[in-house]
Chain A
Amino acid sequence: MQLNAIPAHAPGVVSRTMDGEAVLVHPAQGKVRVLNAVGARIWELADGRHDIAALAQAVADEYGVPLARTEADVDAFCYDLVGRGVMVWAPA
């Protein structure tokens, strides 16, 4: 895990939150994705200024879940979205 990595929204991705879930549209890819409530909250927090550790702490606090597990989940989630091109890593 790289907990000091800083996720950010990829340029060109447009999103909208509906009933706690997030719809992401990547026009260049022609893809539309839906994030569940937790994913939508991580997406909201991924502002390019806060690292994975900070995102995980926020999620753990809000949902009352163990931090170690949350760090692993948030890390995997962000890496997955970076791999799909909807997130990027901001410079540290």
Chain B
Amino acid sequence: MMRSQDAVDGALDLILAGWRVRLVCAPQALAQAARARYAAFVAAIGGPADLVIAAAAEPGMSPGAHAAHMLEAPLRPDAAGYRLDADGIAASIQPDLGRATLALATAEPLGSLEYFLRIACALLAFHRGGVLLHAAGLLAGGQAYLFTGVSGSGKSTVTALSPHALALSDDLVLLRPGEAGWLAHGTPFWNPDAASRAGQTANGPIAGIYKLVKAPAVRVEPLSAAAAAAELAANCPVVNGRPELLPELLARCRDLARAVPVRRLHFRKDASFWAAVNANLIIQEVHSDAT
């Protein structure tokens, strides 16, 4: 049993999209490593946490166990929430109760903690009315533009081609509904080779969500309600793999697609897509004003 002082020393609060996630880590080395990695999101401990993750890393190495195994390990529902078990990893998460446990016997405990944090954030966001979206997010002119697509479709490219914009993330953004509409929030979840994470703690109202398609000519193509919802659902990791969550996920994606323009963006490997995006948004506003 940990002494109360150990619990305080090994604890850190992260503010992710306004949700307070408390990591209680053992040993101290894991807590210190997490504090360094997530420094931009660390807040003073205090107040109720939306999710408490008790993470314990055991010494030793489980051959072949690394962070990627956690992504491949399926979540299994149990009476209280979900379990995740893989080589060197035993975890539980109860989103409704706001708690999770993670026991690690891996060579890369911080990497494994990161991947579990992604899973936990996906479930936390979903249970609180939002979603974790697999997308690159860019903040420009005070508004967030999100770009979805499979690996290699150009998410990192559009990020690199947008020096005027602040990148919220090149991989995962948190979407949270608010009184004034949906907001996109930056996250600590990036591709390993990201050059800068300057916008990871920023947020903004969503101007549009764009499914990327590489093409010789730049254009913005509307999507039907079903196609828009499908694109969003396909990019909500973790949740879209849970059958019991799918009816609500589809309803939420339908609602999100009604609130925010979801389009297909045909783009070349240059910054010309911004003109098409902005022109399409102007047309969208004109139509809205006319109706």
- Interface positions of A (Cβ within 8 A of B): 12, 14, 16-19, 21-23, 25, 27, 30-34
Contact = CB atoms under 8 A, between A and B. Distances in A.
Interface of B: 224-227, 229-231, 233-234, 240-243, 246-247, 249-251, 254
Dominant secondary structure of chain A at its interface with chain B: strand
A14 B243 contact: yes
A18 B229 contact: yes
Nearest to A24: B230
A41 to B, nearest CB: 13
A25 B246 CA distance: 8
A49 to B, nearest CB: 23
B231 to A, nearest CB: 8
B12 to A, nearest CB: 33
A32 B225 contact: no
Closest 7 CB pairs between A and B? A21-B226, A14-B246, A32-B234, A16-B250, A18-B226, A18-B225, A19-B225
A23 B240 contact: no
Given A23-B226, A34-B227, A16 B251 contact: yes
A34 B241 CA distance: 17
A14 B225 contact: no
19 contacts: A12-B243, A14-B246, A14-B247, A14-B250, A16-B251, A18-B225, A18-B229, A21-B224, A21-B225, A21-B226, A23-B230, A23-B233, A23-B250, A27-B246, A31-B234, A32-B230, A32-B231, A32-B234, A34-B227
Contact of A27 (B224, B229, B231, B243): B243
A13 B246 CA distance: 9
